[in-house]
Amino acid sequence: MQAIEKNIDTSIAANLPHLITSLPGPKAKALVDQDHAILSPSYTRDYPLAAKKGYGAMVEDVDGNRFLDFAAGIAVVSTGHCHPNVVHAIQKQAAELIHMSGTDFYYPNLVELAQKLASIAPGAEAKRVYFGNSGAEGTEAAIKLARYHTKRDKMIAFYSSFHGRTMGALSMTASRAVQRKGFGSLLGGVFHAHYPNTYRGTFGNNPEHASADALDYIENTLFKRIVDPEDVAGIIIEPIQGEGGYLPAPADFLKALQAICRKHGIMLIADEVQSGMGRTGKWWAGDHAGLEPDIISTAKGIASGMPLSAIISRASVMDWKPGAHASTFGGNPVAIAASLATIDLLEHQYIENAAKMGEHIFKLTADWRERHKIVGDIRGKGLMIGIELVRDQKTKERAPDLRNRIVEMAFHKGLLILGAGENALRFCPPLLIDEEQAEFAVRTIDACLTAVEKSM
């Protein structure tokens, strides 16, 4: 794999941040003001980063400040910003065929990507693939397929999960009330179970019983009092909760959930929109538990920033008839070209790098709970790492205000990060970061933690 550097702006091909104005700089400030006057006020921006260009793990803002990007456009640019191979694939495809609509016509790269995704999905049975444009569309397709295939209509999702914001997906999402407030009634027949929390305990105590408590709720409360399992079409779960706080479900829980699904003919839907495509050091977060979902939903990291999502299911499950479900743009040729280039890079370099850099970060932060009284938990896999901040390690009182301050402080030190859940920091950098960048991020957050603790 040779990097093709033609037509790429590599002027910011540095490794570390460099700030030349106070933040926001004058151009960023002007842009933010214009943006606030015209864009939907529903967007949530934590700090005023006004991006102009990106390369690798670096982003340059409109004033020429350079940042190290540990947010990756919300875990999207898996191969970094504007990877030469991805840019080249996009440019080549755009000059050849931009759109055709795979719902009505045929084109080669649609088949090629479907075959590739089928080959990397777990499980012996042959697969089929459906393409959409966003994570939420993946969720919609998964719900519809589960209902169609099972001829049942009930769904189970988990508290603190995030599956998207379209009305069907929102009915699964149970992350923050503000995401539901004002929108009226959602899809009926959706029930929420408790996600196993190995830090706090599923019900706020006994972390060591997290899996057993979460399973017990499903089998002995949900199934006995609220919904008969024979009525349930699908259970949708993020193997590592993303927006919910970068919280992994234990392997024993995932395997037991799979067994429950098999026993009752329920479709197990793994929402790997955030955790998939190599971010955790394996193709799928579920791979760490040997999970074989009936339906996998993927988006975000699939095409390095081009809009694309896919659901991959067992072939016998995807039995809907022509006309049952489709989308004009789903599987757009240019997005697919970007995805094929992305997958090639992930397969040959970056999944392994994600595992290696993740381990490096876990090593560097191993003593943080001793050194920092506000660090409650550090968890995750590969480059999907959550750091939960608390006011007190004993009481585990959540510290959302301290988390928000650290996100803001990091920005002023040239590091872009995001929060996750009520009170966690998340690391979700591009999967190509090197040791120097990993160490810079760790050093920066270490300094922010120390500063915040001093002020308490």
Q: Which residues bind ligand PLP (CB under 6 A)?
A: 74, 134-136, 139, 162-164, 238, 242-243, 271, 273-274, 299
User: Cis omega (within 30 of 0) on the bond before 24?
Assistant: yes
Residue closer to ligand PLP by CB (options 61, 287) is 287
Residue closer to ligand PLP by CB (options 299, 361) is 299
Residue closer to ligand PLP by CB (options 74, 100) is 74
| Partners of residue 67 on adjacent β-strands | 59
Q: In angstroms, how far is the first alpha carbon of the chain from the final one?
A: 51
Beta-carbon contacts of residue 50 (< 8 Å; ≥ 6 apart): 24, 27, 28, 31, 32, 61, 62, 63
Nearest approach, Cβ of 295 to ligand PLP (angstroms)?
Answer: 13
Cite the DSSP H helix spans in 123-233: 135-150, 167-172, 210-216
Residue type, 122: P
Nearest approach, Cβ of 95 to ligand PLP (angstroms)?
Answer: 27
Nearest approach, Cβ of 436 to ligand PLP (angstroms)?
Answer: 28
Nearest approach, Cβ of 452 to ligand PLP (angstroms)?
Answer: 27
Q: Give Cα separations from 38 to 31, 32, 44, 48, 49 (angstroms).
A: 11, 10, 14, 16, 17
Residue closer to ligand PLP by CB (options 117, 375) is 117
Strand, helix or coil for residue 247: strand
Residue closer to ligand PLP by CB (options 49, 136) is 136
Residue closer to ligand PLP by CB (options 65, 171) is 171
Whole-number Å distance between alpha carbons of 277 and 330: 18
DSSP for 316-379, written as a single string: TT--PPTTSS--SSTT-HHHHHHHHHHHHHIIIIIHHHHHHHHHHHHHHTTTHHHH-TTEEEEE
Structure tokens at 18: 């460099």
Going by the DSSP 8-state scheme, the letter that residue 179 receives in this structure is G
Nearest approach, Cβ of 139 to ligand PLP (angstroms)?
Answer: 6
Whole-number Å distance between alpha carbons of 111 and 22: 49
Residue closer to ligand PLP by CB (options 267, 452) is 267
Nearest approach, Cβ of 21 to ligand PLP (angstroms)?
Answer: 31
| CB-CB contact of 304 with 83 (8 Å) | yes
Residue closer to ligand PLP by CB (options 11, 44) is 44
Beta-carbon contacts of residue 333 (< 8 Å; ≥ 6 apart): 93, 96, 97, 98, 99, 100, 107, 109, 110
Nearest approach, Cβ of 170 to ligand PLP (angstroms)?
Answer: 10
Nearest approach, Cβ of 274 to ligand PLP (angstroms)?
Answer: 4
Nearest residue to ligand PLP on Cβ basis: 135
